[in-house]
Amino acid sequence: MSKPLEGVKVVELATFIAAASAGRFMADLGADVVKIESAKGDPLRHTAPSEGRPLDMYENTTWDLENGNKRCISLNMKDPAGKEAFFKLLDQADVLITNWRVQALQRAGLDYETLKVKYPKLVYAICTGYGEYGPDKDLPGFDFTAFFARGGYFDSLRQRGTVPFNGVPGLGDHNVGMNLAAGILAALYQAKTKGIGEKVETSLFESAVYNMGMMVQASNYEGIAQQYPIDVREGANPFNAAWRTKDNRFIQTCMPDYNTYYKKFIAAIGREDLVENENYFPILTCQAKGLGTEVYDIVMEQFMTKTAEEWRPILEAADIPFALCQNWIEIRNDKQAEANNCFYDMKYSNGNTRRLVRLPVKFEEMGVPEYKPGPLIGEQGPEILKELGYDDAQIQEMQEKGTLFVWKDERK
């Protein structure tokens, strides 16, 4: 099985999710991704209590999602010997991925301007919270803050009069990670074909601004974009809403062009008497008369007469874009997701089998990549140093001095 990134070497100097997910994507495609950790380990290893999982180094589904198929070496970067080993890794690398803050990179001599002198072909990829410039460039950034809050999700996409919706970790990070991966691959192509390195940057905030682009741009005009958060009943298009069913589920419909769908949707929900209603159609007439809330209420009333399962064949027959609002347990068992190979059932050493999520980009000729668990702290450190020319005595000395840390696997 040929993999697109076989032979590419990546050094990942990053914690948490966004930058790491870019490294994971490259690892799935065959790149040798070496993650650098401290002896304490990436804080992501310890987030289980916030997610309702057991805190277990040997069964860590979040860690595996972001770091599967990578290797890991734990180096004390403050020790000159550890720094030397890091640079030996960089000597062989095509890509460096980091999410360290710019000041920390500068203090360590690992900023782009410094490294590009020695490594002119290196692809230097950095992920930040708010971008590299501006008054807030040095603020710590997580997806709850830089992406969801500063980027307009929490305030705009809530029902008017309520608190912001419940955020979940990783959503913004994964978006940013794939953006970073796209930039890395473009820069890597240039490095391989022209011998020219490049710096690739994105941030949680910048990605959120881009995602919100349609409505940010619409806010130039005195329309609904300036009125968010809204009551969904008062939305510009009453057909883009979630409808409560008889069994207390919600079915989301999406009909961006109200006029195209009005007649068949109204007929499908059992209100054939309104098909030729001149007050509700076309959309500009409905808006001008302020009748969108009436249409919303009519549709909601109809949906509450049937269960979600009863609505499914009706909406499918009318070719209405819809989906049941699913919970995570339903997603984990979704036959459509299974058919498209969204999952991997990982059997852990403790005997448990857990369903993990694969990355969403597929390659026909490469096939489905293997799924190796994320490494323990420094698990491959000795083998990586041997590849760099260190002998057993040097490696042992580095361990004894604390320059190199290798997690002691208590199972062995």
Selecting among 42, 64, 94, 173, the annotated active-site residue is 173
- Answer yes or no: do 353 and 206 share one domain: yes
In a domain, 411, yes or no: no
User: Which residue range is the domain that position 303 belongs to?
Assistant: 231-329
Do 303 and 354 share a domain, yes or no?
no
- The count of domains in the chain is 2
What pLDDT is recorded for position 412? 62
8 A C-beta contact, residue 92 and residue 98: no
Q: What is the pLDDT of residues 127-142, one digit of tens each?
A: 999 999 999 999 999 9
**Same-domain status, 250 and 319:** yes
Domain annotation covers residue 1? no
What is the Cα–Cα distance from 240 to 313, expressed in whole angstroms? 19
**Phi and psi at residue 354, to the nearest 5°:** -125, 140
Q: CB neighbours of 391 closer than 8 A, spacing ≥ 6?
A: none
**Strand-pair partners of 230:** none
Do 246 and 383 belong to one domain? no
Same domain, 141 and 45: yes
End of a domain among 329, 356, 382? 329
**What does the alpha-carbon distance between residue 109 and residue 113 come to, in Å, rounded to a whole number?**
9
Tokens coding 289:
């008369």
237-262 tens-digit pLDDT: 999 999 999 999 999 999 999 999 99
Give a yes or no: residue 223 inside a domain: no
Q: Give the strands of the sheet with 322-324, arranged side by side.
A: 242-244, 250-253, 322-324
Q: Look at residue 48 and tell me if it is in a domain.
A: yes
Domain end marker among 301, 329, 357: 329
Q: What is the pLDDT of residue 1?
A: 74
- Whether residue 34 is predicted with pLDDT greater than 80 in this model: the reply is yes
In angstroms, how far is CA 306 from the centroid of its own chain? 36
Tens-digit pLDDT profile for residues 193-229: 999 999 999 999 999 999 999 999 999 999 889 999 9
31 and 79 within one domain: yes
**Amino acid identity at 197:** G
**201: nearest Cα among 107, 103, 102:** 102
The fraction of the chain above a pLDDT of 90, given in percent, is 97
Residue 155 designated active-site: no
Nearest in space to 234 (alpha carbons), one of 281, 285, 293: 293
**Can you give the pLDDT at residue 362?**
94
Asked whether the predicted pLDDT for residue 411 surpasses 80, the reply is no
Residues 310 and 190 both lie in one domain: no
Could you tell me what percent of the chain has a pLDDT over 70? 100
Kindly report the average pLDDT of the chain as a whole number.
96
Q: Compute the 3-state secondary structure of the chain and give helix, strand, coil in percent, each to the nearest 5.
A: 45, 15, 45
Same domain, 205 and 296: no
Co-location of 66 and 167 in the same domain: yes
pLDDT tens for each residue of 76-101: 999 999 999 999 999 999 999 999 99
pLDDT tens track for 326-365: 999 999 999 999 999 999 999 999 999 999 999 999 999 9
40-76 pLDDT, tens digit each: 999 999 999 999 999 999 999 999 999 999 999 999 9
Domain-terminating residue out of 267, 298, 329: 329
For residue 176, the tally of other CB atoms under 10 A from its CB is 31
**Residues 34 and 165 both lie in one domain:** yes
Give alpha helix (H) positions in 169-232.
171-194, 204-211, 213-218
The pLDDT confidence band at residue 372, using thresholds 50, 70 and 90, is: very high
Predicted local distance difference test score (pLDDT) of residue 410: 72
Consecutive H or E run containing 10 = strand 9-13
Residue 197 lies inside a defined structural domain of this protein: yes
Q: Where are the beta strands (DSSP E) in 149-298?
A: 198-203, 242-244, 250-253
Is the pLDDT at 306 greater than 80? The verdict is yes
Residue 235 lies in a domain: yes
